[in-house]
């Protein structure tokens, strides 16, 4: 059973880049992506076309409502689309198909939300019927998040990750410090082009990489090394830039130790994330992906 499309239009006194950014990370979505009086205790998103969307809304009575799906399109700052199944993973109550467009409107941004539903359980019809009011109060919360983003808040976060590799500490250290070895796992994703690459791993040495991705976006990584102990430890600070804008400053420590016949690598980062472009959860996810690529470059 298919329900008609819901259409809601709202204008925000902020640039499209800011309004779009409020949809771009778990940290932002957790603050606003639920109706008034509901909360979002858990959310995991991979904000790219084909990336996952998993979110839990909790009612004032403590009842959890899960949405699980994927992004069909992420085209900043113009459009995004995602499809999610709502309800139990094995037997969802309905599927929601959501499209959001972002358009300049004078000094602000007009967004249009279009949502269509495939109903699997007729008993959930009241939930779909309440969608217009739910979206109204949800977008009220989005308006507050946009105001917060425009205030230029700095978000501080930290994370630690561990990986076990079937390689000696010296081999892991080489993969982290030799440019040819590091480039086998530290480059961009498929379709990206490296625009600049330098590497000088020593106390006081710099590392730089600029990459243009298939979407046209340019990211830049610039690191300064403070402590380098062969086969054991690296400590460095790094900045990340997105299309020429600084989005974070982080302190990273990499510690290597023997583990059985291989090695254990522990990565710890403390970050200051600027103007809402990134957060610790998203950075940890990206770092985990890189560490898995590092392992593949070592052969395990």
Instruction: Calculate the alpha carbon distances from 102 to 2, 73, 108, 124, 187 in Å.
Output: 26, 13, 10, 30, 31
Residues, the chain: 300
Does 18 score more than 90 pLDDT?
Answer: no
Domains of the chain in start order, with CATH, are: 2-150 (3.30.530.20), 154-298 (3.30.530.20)
pLDDT at 151: 73
Summarised one tens digit per residue, pLDDT across range 117-168 is: 888 877 766 667 788 999 999 999 999 888 888 776 677 888 999 999 999 9
Task: Decide: 147 and 22 in contact? Cβ < 8 Å.
Answer: no
Instruction: Calculate the alpha carbon distances from 97 to 7, 22, 68, 119, 212 in Å.
Output: 12, 20, 12, 11, 31
Does 1 score more than 60 pLDDT?
Answer: no
> What counts of helices (H) and strands (E) characterise the chain?
7, 14
Does 277 score more than 90 pLDDT?
Answer: no
Summarised one tens digit per residue, pLDDT across range 211-234 is: 988 777 789 999 999 999 999 999
Does 4 score more than 70 pLDDT?
Answer: no
The tokens for 146 are 């946009």
Does 54 score more than 90 pLDDT?
Answer: yes
pLDDT at 153: 63
Does 262 score more than 60 pLDDT?
Answer: yes
């Amino acid at each position: 059973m298919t329900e008609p499309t819901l259409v809601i239009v709202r204008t925000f006194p902020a640039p499209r880049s800011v309004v779009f950014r409020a949809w771009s990370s778990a940290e932002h979505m957790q603050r606003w992506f639920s109706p008034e009086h509901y909360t979002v205790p858990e959310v995991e998103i991979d904000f790219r076309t084909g990336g996952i969307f998993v979110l839990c809304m909790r009612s004032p009575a403590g009842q959890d409502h899960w949405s699980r799906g994927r992004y069909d399109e992420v085209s900043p700052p113009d459009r995004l689309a995602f499809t999610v199944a709502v309800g139990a993973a094995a037997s969802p109550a309905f599927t929601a198909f959501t499209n959001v467009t972002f358009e300049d409107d004078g000094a602000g941004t007009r967004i249009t939300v279009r949502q269509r539903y495939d109903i699997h359980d007729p008993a959930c019809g009241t939930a779909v019927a309440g969608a217009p009011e739910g979206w109204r109060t949800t977008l009220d919360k989005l308006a507050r998040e946009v105001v917060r983003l425009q205030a230029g808040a700095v978000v501080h976060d930290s994370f630690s990750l561990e990986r076990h590799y079937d390689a000696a500490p010296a081999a892991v250290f080489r993969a982290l410090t030799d440019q040819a070895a590091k480039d086998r796992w530290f480059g961009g994703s498929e379709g990206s082009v490296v625009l600049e690459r330098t590497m000088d791993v020593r106390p006081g040495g710099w590392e730089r990489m600029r990459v243009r991705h298939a979407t046209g976006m340019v990211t830049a990584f610039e690191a300064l090394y403070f402590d380098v102990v062969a086969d054991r430890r690296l400590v460095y600070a790094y900045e990340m830039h997105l299309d020429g804008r600084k989005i974070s400053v982080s302190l990273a420590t990499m510690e290597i130790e023997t583990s059985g016949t291989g090695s254990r690598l522990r990565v710890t980062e403390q970050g200051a994330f600027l103007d809402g472009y990134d957060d610790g959860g998203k950075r940890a996810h990206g770092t985990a992906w890189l560490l898995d690529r590092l392992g593949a470059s070592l052969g395990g």
